[in-house]
């Protein structure tokens, strides 16, 4: 009986350590995202940094919370939340970037000098 208790206790310790590592990696990813927003030169690059690193950070922090909470109710909530964020954040970022490219008033020459004004099919 004591052997099983030690094994369960060791497993909980391993899960807690893994959860803390994922939490730290998620926090580091958020810092990288913030630095990308601060350092990158143009709006589209900043948006890319915020979306990609932010999505990774949310996923890592959710996984850490799942491992640390060790409850089915929280696991289900966090999985659903992560699924919808992973699905919607990149799509929302893409749509915002596409709108910015279509409306060149939203982009200055500094933001993206290679962007040309968007044209609906000019061959119609």
67 lies in some domain = yes
**Residue 12 domain boundaries:** 2-103
81 lies in some domain = yes
108 lies in some domain = no
pTM to 2 decimal places = 0.71
114 lies in some domain = no
CA 79 to CA 82: how far, in whole Å? Answer: 5
Instruction: State pLDDT tens for residues 105-116.
Output: 655 555 555 555
Instruction: State pLDDT tens for residues 10-62.
Output: 878 888 999 999 999 999 999 999 998 899 887 788 888 888 888 899 999 99
118 lies in some domain = no
**Tally of domains within the chain:** 1
Task: Count the Cβ atoms, other than its own, within 10 Å of residue 61.
Answer: 21
pLDDT above 80 for 6: no
| Mean pLDDT of the region 79-85 | 91
109 lies in some domain = no
117 lies in some domain = no
Distance of CA 117 to the CA centre of its chain: 30
> Which residues are CB-contacts of 49 (< 8 A; sequence separation ≥ 6)?
32, 33, 36, 37, 40
């Amino acid at each position: 009986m004591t052997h099983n208790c030690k094994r369960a206790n060791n497993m909980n310790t391993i899960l807690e350590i893994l959860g803390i590592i994922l939490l730290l990696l998620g926090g580091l990813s958020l810092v990288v995202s913030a630095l990308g927003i601060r350092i990158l030169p143009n709006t589209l690059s900043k948006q890319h940094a915020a979306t990609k690193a932010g999505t990774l950070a949310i996923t890592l922090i959710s996984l850490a919370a799942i491992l640390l909470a060790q409850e089915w109710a929280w696991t289900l909530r966090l999985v659903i939340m992560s699924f919808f964020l992973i699905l919607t954040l990149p799509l929302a970022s893409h749509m915002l970037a596409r709108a910015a490219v279509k409306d060149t008033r939203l982009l200055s020459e500094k933001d993206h000098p290679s962007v040309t004004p968007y044209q609906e099919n000019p061959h119609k």
